[in-house]
Amino acid sequence: MMDERRDMALAIKSCLDSLMDDATKCDLDDLARFISLAALAAEEAAMSFDPKAAQLKALMSGGAGHC
């Protein structure tokens, strides 16, 4: 069930990213910004359904693994 929700959130994010690109190409900057916020929310929703994503985010936020 968690995988289905994560996959759905990622599919929605992909659609929103495409809409954002279209809005940017048509010089609809305010709309593009609004859609980008929705895409970020979809990405966060996908991460919330992926237990490994939280571990990776915690690892990447620290100093470990960076050059």
Q: What's the mean pLDDT when you consider all of the chain? A: 85
Report the alpha-carbon distance of residue 64 to residue 29 in Å, rounded. 37
Q: Side chain identity at 33, as an amino acid letter? A: R
pTM given for the model:
0.71
Name 50's Cβ contacts closer than 8 Å, sequence gap at least 6.
Answer: 2, 6
Each residue of 20-41: pLDDT tens digit? 999 999 999 999 999 999 999 9
- Give me the numbers of helices (H) and strands (E) for the chain, helices first please: 3, 0
CB atoms within 10 A of CB 55: 10
Contact 49, 6 (CB under 8 A): yes
